Amino acid sequence: MNLLNLFKYFLKASKNSKAVVEPQLGFWNDLNNKCGSIKHEDGGLKNGGYEDVKNIGRPIGRPIGRPICVLAPMADVTDCAFRYVINKYGKPDVLWTEFVSADGLVRASPVGKKKLLADLKFEKEEKLIVAQLFGSNPKYMEEACKIVADLGYDGIDLNMGCPDKSIERQKAGASMMKNPKLAKEIIFAAKRGAPNIPITVKTRVGYNKDELDSWLRNILEASPAVVTIHARTRKEMSKVPADWNYVKRAVAIRNEFQKDLIVTGKQHTLIFGNGDVTSVADAYNKAEESEADGVMIGRGIFGNPWLFSALQKPITRNASGDFDVVQNEPSLEEKLNVMLEHTQKFQDELGGIKNFAVMKKHFKAYVNGFDGAKELRAELMETNNAEEVREVILRFLSKID
């Protein structure tokens, strides 16, 4: 190779190389270290991998501990009323809002904006809390993130995995996987709009097929604080079991991509897993197997505000070696009274903004697994307000006293 060709080779290589920028984790770094300081009864995990920075990329010197466990964002579910009961009876490490349109926050009429801001209502007791946004216009995303940051949120999450067709028609949600360049522009825009709080991403492993290697590397080039991997493709929706081998691969991709950050003890992107997590014990087991930094729990929380209470319990194992951590177990009367409390909070905070029918999916989740549940659900489906729900519940409880 002559000198001219050698010069061209190095010039091309320098243009193609991408410097790995250290992500700004903000509170996520503190939380990661805090959870890492919680000791297991046996002193560590089965595979011991959490001690080895070369294996999974944990910060050098980080104590053995548990994964970060957070509430998943769910449309028409994780509103302020739902988060109120979750936070009161089993606080997760971090709460998430339901997703909100970035375009809407910037462009909506005063009436429309009022409704969107209702989706972003939160109480100071809810911190730490992250707002999730979706959108495909970098300009509007930047402006929306500024609005959210000014509201006092601890972080902002970008939805790049929702399969809802109305969201995809806006080239947002799962549609982002079809346009990796735009996805990075959206992340950078969010960082410009909210430079003082961490930006995270929730996504899937691919659109119609497994595209995790290229898609995750593309996201990592924008250095988000956290990437949550829903362990299915968009095509699979939730019709097949979540495959946590994808999460394990995502950790390996992160470790390889951000190797220089990891081995020098710098902050690096955290990888969370999501999909089919039914309990805190299940979260611990899935995190151990996948080596994920955190776990996001969604459907497992339906009708069970006590789920995250297990985070405060000792970390123990059963005879087979799996984690065995139990949550607080309410009586039937306690469960129905919390459902009523949830309903009243929904009416007080969101009455006139959201349809009361939203609560009925929660009734189905709360009311099951006991004698008379079917009949009670049928009665609750006919209610139109918290007062009617109270009458139905009190009448049912009077029969079982």
SS3 string, 152-221, reads: CCCEEEEEECCCCHHHHCCCCHHHHHHCHHHHHHHHHHHHHHCCCCCEEEEEECCCCCCCHHHHHHHHHC
* Residue 300 CB neighbours (<10 A): 16
User: Is 35 tagged catalytic?
Assistant: no
Contact 389, 372 (CB under 8 A): no
Contact 69, 298 (CB under 8 A): no
For the chain, state the CA radius of gyration: 22
151 phi and psi angles, rounded to 5 deg: -75, -15
Catalytic residue, candidates 35, 69, 80, 162? 162
Contact 277, 71 (CB under 8 A): no
Determine the Cα–Cα distance for residues 38 and 36; give it in Å rounded to an integer: 6
Give the helix/strand (H/E) hosting 140: helix 138-151
Residues noted as catalytic = 162
